[in-house]
Amino acid sequence: MKALALHDRPREKMLRHGALALGDNELVALVLGSGRRGADAIEVANELLDLSGALHGVARATIGDLARVPGVGLAKAAQLLAAVELGRRTVTHAPSARVQLRTPKEAAAYLLPAFGARPVEHFGIVLLDTRHRVLRTTIIATGTLNTTIVQPRDVYRTAMLGGAAAIVAFHNHPSGDPTPSHEDGDLTRRLSAAGTLLGIALVDHLVLADTRYYSFRELGQI
């Protein structure tokens, strides 16, 4: 970044004006710290964002994906994904906050920052008390790019051991499209029926994708 005027370099710009003044490429460049021979950190950041499909693509990428960008490598890729994960965690709620999930919109706002842009599919449940306050969130299964295998018995075993009165089931679609599959609908019906038998209500099943979601409850399918 030697070619940039001192006041235009990302670090100095951030010190003078704050993080909000920086573009996505400048923030990535700060995390990377340096470029490669013939290209400064800003240029490497631009290449990385172009190849990943902007910041949402970076959030979905693996260390191996990012390391393929010349000038990044495994160490810098790990630094960048660590920064992404820290960002996710700052917008999720601590269990001690006892967040109450009264609507599908509230449940989606609670889950999307942490799980909406995962690069592989995760299926989990939010354990709720009788007032639908969050006890904890647990991942039941992790799949490949587009599938997980979940059985109702595994879901409700976890719910019972956690003392849940109700649950919100969720999983993400790495494709970025929250439209449920036929299998998603079938699983929702099986979970709802099992919950009725066991006395642990299935409040909702959310399909998450980036900043969008699909709620089976919202559309009257639970």
Question: Mean pLDDT of all residues in the chain?
Answer: 89
Mean pLDDT of 90-118: 84
The span from the CA of 74 to the CA of 90, in Å, is 24
* 88 Cβ neighbours under 8 A, 6+ residues apart: 113, 114
Residue 97 pLDDT greater than 80, yes or no: no
Tens of pLDDT, residue by residue over 137-152, are 999 999 865 666 889 9
In CATH, which superfamily holds the domain spanning 95-215? Cytidine Deaminase, domain 2 (3.40.140.10)
Confidence of residue 6 (pLDDT cuts 50, 70, 90): very low
Q: Parse the chain into domains and list their residue ranges.
A: 6-90, 95-215
For 6-90, which CATH class? mainly alpha
Q: Is the pLDDT of residue 7 over 50?
A: no
CA distance linking residue 114 with residue 161, whole number of Å: 23
pLDDT of 16-48, one tens digit each?
A: 878 888 888 999 999 999 899 999 999 999 999
Pairing of strands 201-209, 166-172: parallel
Average pLDDT over residues 153-161: 95
- Specify the higher pLDDT residue, 61 or 171: 171
* Cα angle value 79/85/91 (rounded, 5°): 140
| Structure confidence at residue 126 (pLDDT) | 97
Quick check: 163 pLDDT over 80?
A: yes
